[in-house]
Structure 1
Amino acid sequence: MVASLTYMPGTGDEDRQPVDLYSSHCWIGSIPELRTVEWDYDVTPGNLTGVTRPAAERHVKLICTSPAILDSMRAVFDADLLNRTPGTLTVNGEWSQRCYLTASEPDETSPSTVTAQLTIVLLDGVWRRDADTIQCVAHHGDTGNTWLDLPFDLPCDLQAPRMSASVTNQLPYGVKWRMIVYGPASNPRVSIGGNEVMVDVLVPDGGYLTIDAIKRTVTLTAANGDISNVFGKARRGSGQGSGTYVFEPIAPGTSVIEWDGSFGFDLTPVEERSAPPWSTLS
């Protein structure tokens, strides 16, 4: 069962509107094929290798009582295919995946209704949903960054206390995430569950740094809107599990977040499922 189903075109500007696939004139009433789960793998003695969730072709039935709407929908789908700009299919306003609608085969036609089989190519192999964003604000004391100077020397250097927060992953496997670091910030460093996320870059006042563990991109946006690729400035250690991997998944359970408090940032965990959960409507 589905409560809402939309397709956001990949072609167009920021004002483009989604195609409603569960409206009073055109609707897909059931999506069992979209909930189909199938992994790719190679069988080896005692185990599996090459385990992946590949792109998949699925078929759904569309019923439409407005030929004009059906024609405009097909034009949108065709534009994305011609431009190689996939749209995004969203189920019940929560779970999304990039896709193309590659075919439409009429089953039944009448003066008032058209029933057609749509072919949807799901590109990501997973459905994604943004979890709640954790907002970690910059902290500056009433006296700014000025600290009291003791009248004697110590055998060690005193530092400002580190700030902390936490993030909870309720799934039994690691999840990816997006982070936005707000300037000004110099070589921002955030520890998530003991893994250090570090980018050796100066984030200007009014600018921001975006780290996307899904797309594996690191970009710097200046105050005037100019965007630059700073992937090479991100520390990647020796890869996942090294303790300094910039795209390290958030582990199951609760992870402590620590940073020096000199800058603020938002952290958004992104849940991934093989299919839209059956409990989506609850």
Structure 2
Amino acid sequence: MPVLRSGSPHRSVRTRTTVAGILLATVSLLVGLPGTAGAAAAGHAPEPRHPEQDWAGSQIARHEGGGGGVLPTPSLAATVEGVDVSGHQGNVNWSGLWSGGVKFAYVKATESTSYTNPYFAQQYNGSYDTGMIRGAYHFATPDTSSGAAQANYFVAHGGGWSKDGKTLPGALDMEYNPYGDTCYGMTATGLVNWMKDWFATYKARTGRDAVIYTSTSWWKQCTGNSAAFGATNPLWVPRYGSSVGELPAGWGFHTIWQYTSTGPTVGDRDSFNGAYDRLQALANG
């Protein structure tokens, strides 16, 4: 039987095969590790793990306090009472809310590009059927996908708009990250650009400038108090106290104020800053 010498082709093939196997295993391991080139190539955080627990204001009381049913200070200015709802409320008694004076509603439709509210039809159509002016909102997770991708997903799953006099423009919910870093691991410039992408895509799809839901404290911390949206996007601001308080930069007034998260029947109660005909004007564009 011939003896294989150190330089024989058989050993070279076996050595190359072994080295290739080691390299393949190493690459596979790296792809699975956070902070590696493989993970960076994916470029996004995991999809939301508990989207049914994320709604407009779900993180506000947690980070800013309040939420305990403080009624607004009486004012001579005209206002319209509203609510906002999401999947965690299930089927909503819209006729009861209407009888209690609620005239408009915002309904969570989507989150990221993976979640749709399973109660959306009952909530969105039910509010409309009782006579309310209603709109849909999207809970943003800027670290999971692009602004354009999330705006397109929102429009495709209930966030569109029609000029029927009863549909409000869609709203983008920008608040504290329920899954980690407050500002989604992004710079102020990165977050502002993400929102610009979302708003531009939404307007291209619907013809409307969307509403933005955000708190002054989060806005200052995460966007550097950007004034980039005040001239175009109506402001829906949460503050659980007797007055709306300081507004984010760029806005001289608010359009909607979420003033409590513990209201009767439905917790999240809102006040439109104007008379009913102004609410109709917002719906009609």
Structure with higher strand content: 1
Please indicate the TM-score interval, normalised by the length of the shorter structure. under 0.3
TM-score (structure 2 length as normaliser): 0.22
The answer to which structure has the higher helix fraction is: 2
